[in-house]
Amino acid sequence: MDLRARFTEEMKASMRAGDAPRTSTIRMVIAKLKEADIAARPSGVTAIPDDQIAGMLRGMVKSRRESVDLYRQGGRTELADKEEAEIAVIESFLPRQMDDAAMQAAVAEAVAETGAASIKDMGKVMAALKAKHAAVLDMAKAGPMVKAALGD
């Protein structure tokens, strides 16, 4: 089942269950998806593909994590808890992320594939990782691993 269909089915299920916070978060995701589809129309795309949807979801999670930090610093734990609940719902639609061992292996493979020898080749390695593992690799964690593999 593609992500769009999953959003619809999950929203129906949460509405039936009376889970208002989950329903609200899924509606927010669907609205963001419609916004992304509209933004992609000028380039001739009527509906963005699943890999771009996953990127959109990761962006939503990232902004909520930043909000959680700010709310915690400001002593607004109720708002931080609400954001964390939204993060959990959004992450339920994302594919499982690679663990550290798998990330190390993917980085080593990308370094070997690109023939990277120094830190100057970091961009090539990151591009290879993104092309091959974008959906399941946290690029923020991959950066330092690539840097370490290339010898700082």
The span from the CA of 94 to the CA of 40, in Å, is 21
The span from the CA of 131 to the CA of 93, in Å, is 21
Q: Is 110 exposed, middle or buried (0-12, 13-18, 19+ CB in 10 A)?
A: buried
Task: State which of 91, 111, 127 marks the end of a domain.
Answer: 91
Are 22 and 58 contained in the same domain? Answer: yes
Are 107 and 56 contained in the same domain? Answer: no
Claim: this prediction has a pTM higher than 0.85: no
State how far the alpha carbon of 27 is from the alpha carbons of 15, 57, 64, 89, 117, in Å. Answer: 11, 13, 16, 11, 47
Residue 15 has pLDDT above 70, yes or no: yes
Instruction: Give the tens place of pLDDT for each residue, 31-81.
Output: 999 999 999 999 888 888 887 888 889 899 999 999 999 999 999 999 999
Are 17 and 75 contained in the same domain? Answer: yes
Range of the domain at 8: 3-91
SS3 at position 111: helix
Are 70 and 9 contained in the same domain? Answer: yes
pLDDT greater at residue 106 or residue 19: 19
- Look at 66-80, 105-119, 134-148 and tell me which has the smallest mean pLDDT: 134-148
Are 73 and 48 contained in the same domain? Answer: yes
Domains of the chain: total: 2
Taking residues 119-146, what's their average pLDDT?
Answer: 81
Are 11 and 81 contained in the same domain? Answer: yes
Residue closest to 55 by CA, chosen among 133, 152, 121, 141: 133
String of DSSP letters for 13-64 = HHHHHT-HHHHHHHHHHHHHHHHHHHHHGGGT-SS--HHHHHHHHHHHHHHH
Give the CATH number of the domain where residue 15 resides.
1.10.1510.10
